[in-house]
Amino acid sequence: MSISPSFPEKRKKRAKRMDFDESADEWNVSAKNNCIINLKNVCDVLLSHLGWRFETLNNVSLDFSFLTGSELFENETDQLVKAAADLALKYNKDLNASELTEEIIHFKHHAMSALPSIKNTTPLQLLEFIFEYSMANIFPNICIALRLYLTLPCTTATCERSFSKLKLIKTYLRSTVNQTKLTNLALLSIEKEKSNSIDFDSVINDFAEVKARRIKL
């Protein structure tokens, strides 16, 4: 980056030693070595958090892995039924275990007969396949499971993005802003592309029509 490192040395205070104190003097570390030590600590924390984050997402991905084309093609029906039952147990508020296990048996045969290249089929393509042939009512639990699987990463990213945006929005100038206004400002900042495409003149006109006070003569 063509930036020359500069590490100005500061005069260090020598700690006063008491009588009979046999401890060694404080370890003298140069400014350059101190920077290297702190940088390595930051990198270590960053790598450990990244590993934890991707390990957690990988565990979630394994729960839904049977809803991919390759798993449907390679796994036996008993394995798919067990994976479906385990998934329904974790997401029991959204999925019905008995219905999902029945649906996965029939869905395997439908997908293998209708999709010639099922080995390379992604979960999104399976969901599109369900809606293309109007089978959402036939396989409702599989449809819900696929939608859960496809939206979980987006949900995680949205949470992270909202926290970073709040730091930019809630400065000392807006320290007393109420929760409703702060939420609306954060939403506008997160969805910046959509908010920039809004025609503000039409919004102003719509607001004026709703809030207009006309005196009846």
Query: Are 108 and 184 within one domain?
Result: no
128 shares its domain with 103: yes
**Are 188 and 117 within one domain?**
no
Does the pLDDT value for residue 156 go beyond 70? no
Cα separation, 59 vs 67, in Å, equals 14
Note the pLDDT of residue 101.
94
Give the pLDDT score at 140: 94
Same domain, 150 and 167: no
DSSP 83-95: HHHHHHHHTTTT-
Q: What is the pTM of this model?
A: 0.56
| Residue 33, in any domain of the structure | no
Sign of CA pseudo-dihedral 96, 102, 108, 113: negative
Residue 37 near residue 27 (C-beta atoms within 8 A): no
- Structure confidence at residue 2 (pLDDT): 62
Asked if the structure places residue 68 within a domain, the reply is yes
Mean pLDDT of the residues in the chain: 81
Its domain, for residue 192, covers: 163-201
Residues 75 and 147 in one domain: yes
Q: Is residue 46 part of a domain?
A: no
Q: Is 18 part of any domain?
A: no
pLDDT number for residue 78 = 93
Whether residues 123 and 184 share a domain: the answer is: no
Quick: pLDDT tens for 5-47.
Answer: 676 666 666 666 665 555 555 556 677 788 888 889 999 888 8
Number of domains in the chain: 2
Between 2-6, 14-18, 179-183, 194-198, the lowest mean confidence (pLDDT) is in 14-18
- Same domain? 149 vs 100: yes
Quick one: 194 and 108 in the same domain?
no
